Amino acid sequence: MLRDALPEIITSALPGPKSAEVIKRREAVIPSAIHCGYPVVMKRAEGAIIEDLDGNHFLDWIGGVGVLNIGHCHPEVVAAVKEQADKYFHGMFNVVTHEGYVALAEKLTQIAPVRGDKKRAYFTNSGAEADENAVKIAKAFTKRPNIIVFSGAFHGRTLMTMAMTAKKAYAVGMGPFPDGVYRAEFPYLYRKPEGMPDDKAIDYYVEKFNEVFENCSPAEYVAAVVVEPLQGEGGFIPAPIEWVKAIRKICDEKGIMLVAVRILEGSGRRAGHHRNGEIHRSRRAALGHRRARGNHGSRAGRYDRRYVRRQRARLRRSPQDHRDHGARPPR
């Protein structure tokens, strides 16, 4: 079985001739905004192995950028897809109700670490859409115009989420952006002021957060604080639990919704939910999930050191390509 195979390159160069032809066709009709970092054209995949059109085998280190928790073409997932295909393909949920959507919402609300008996969930097409809708919900609920985000944050590449995202390499030439987005310093303890002990650093970062109310927007105009309990694009940085508790308390006192965004972490990919649990110890909370949500196509990492070195060098030169899960501005 393919899932038991080892990585193997059988062509003299990559891409092989059959893959090269498809890549040439792609370049002729697909805009460069949808970038592809690897010379791989998938034919089939199982587990963590991808086979291209030329018979090369690649070990998939990317997993659909964190989506394929159980690998490619797991038999149970394939069986469920085939069963559903015999029933119906799609029904707009705002036109007709289908039970699968309801069942998944029931499951998510059962495990979501949100206090209270009443929990509701709905689903979006991307993390950026989830983030934008969380902001809209917060503004509609609080009747306030502003939000607070953090240094190192990644929220997406739509106009609003580009404004929320810290790294502005993603947003070159895309402005002007929506206003009312203010940034606080994320508690990155490794980069804390030199010589400061961790407990003092927590107080320091909480005070830096409170300064936003003085320097940017009074608290009574802030609808939501949007935070990644475990930062993804910023460097896989966990927020210290005592800081999370402090921010939760501030938001409760000031009537601000606290939105937890789980990006590259993905649902169910980390043991425990203690940081999210602290965030959601209030009814004024929203939870935005992205990634690890199904069986999607995946990129592949080639098992070739020279190629990996070239790719790393290119990614250092072009940070906007890194962890790209959608379209970026065309070059």
**Which CATH number does the domain housing residue 8 bear?**
3.90.1150.10
User: Is 87 among the domain residues?
Assistant: no
Number of Cα atoms under 13 Å in the Cβ half of residue 147: 27
What are the backbone dihedrals phi and psi of residue 103, each rounded to the nearest 5 degrees, phi first?
A: -65, -40
Q: Looking at the structure, do residues 227 and 139 belong to the same domain, yes or no?
A: yes
Q: Looking at the structure, do residues 140 and 218 belong to the same domain, yes or no?
A: yes
User: Is 84 among the domain residues?
Assistant: no
Greater confidence, 107 or 64?
107
Q: Looking at the structure, do residues 175 and 204 belong to the same domain, yes or no?
A: yes
Reduce the DSSP state of residue 141 to 3 states and report it. Answer: helix
Tokens 């149970």 locate to 76
Q: Looking at the structure, do residues 7 and 51 belong to the same domain, yes or no?
A: yes
Q: Looking at the structure, do residues 62 and 117 belong to the same domain, yes or no?
A: no
Reduce the DSSP state of residue 193 to 3 states and report it. Answer: coil
pLDDT in tens, 21-64: 999 999 999 998 888 989 999 999 999 999 999 999 999 998 88
User: Is 82 among the domain residues?
Assistant: no
**DSSP string of 143-185, one letter each residue:** ---EEEEETT----SSHHHHHH-S-GGGGTT-----S-EEEE-
pLDDT of 291 > 80? The answer is no
Whether 52 and 30 have beta carbons less than 8 Å apart is answered as no
**pLDDT band at residue 272 under the 50/70/90 scheme:** very low
Rounded to the nearest 5 percent, the helix, strand and coil shares of the chain are 40, 15, 45
Q: Looking at the structure, do residues 38 and 185 belong to the same domain, yes or no?
A: no
Please report how the helices 241-254 and 198-215 are oriented relative to each other, as an axis angle in degrees rounded to 10.
30
Number of domains forming the structure of the chain: 2
Q: Looking at the structure, do residues 242 and 154 belong to the same domain, yes or no?
A: yes
pLDDT in tens, 135-165: 999 999 999 999 999 999 999 999 999 999 9
Greater confidence, 250 or 170?
250
Q: Looking at the structure, do residues 52 and 153 belong to the same domain, yes or no?
A: no
- Which pair of structure tokens corresponds to residue 157? 């590449």
- Which pair of structure tokens corresponds to residue 31? 């805009």
pLDDT for the residue numbered 278: 52
Backbone angle region of 246, left / alpha / beta, with phi > 0 → left and psi within -120 to 50 → alpha: alpha
Domain range for 10 is 2-73+298-321
**Which of 157, 134, 126, 116 shows the shortest CA–CA distance to 287?**
134
Claim: this prediction has a pTM higher than 0.85: no
Q: Looking at the structure, do residues 247 and 312 belong to the same domain, yes or no?
A: no
Which DSSP category does 61 fall into?
S
- Which pair of structure tokens corresponds to residue 202? 């927590």
User: Is 100 among the domain residues?
Assistant: no
Q: 10 Å Cβ neighbour count for 61?
A: 13
Share the mean pLDDT of the chain: 84
What are the backbone dihedrals phi and psi of residue 2, each rounded to the nearest 5 degrees, phi first?
A: -60, -35
Q: What ranges in the chain are assigned the alpha helix state H? A: 17-29, 63-66, 75-85, 99-111, 127-142, 159-164, 198-215, 241-254, 274-279, 305-317
Beta-carbon contacts of residue 214 (< 8 Å; ≥ 6 apart): none
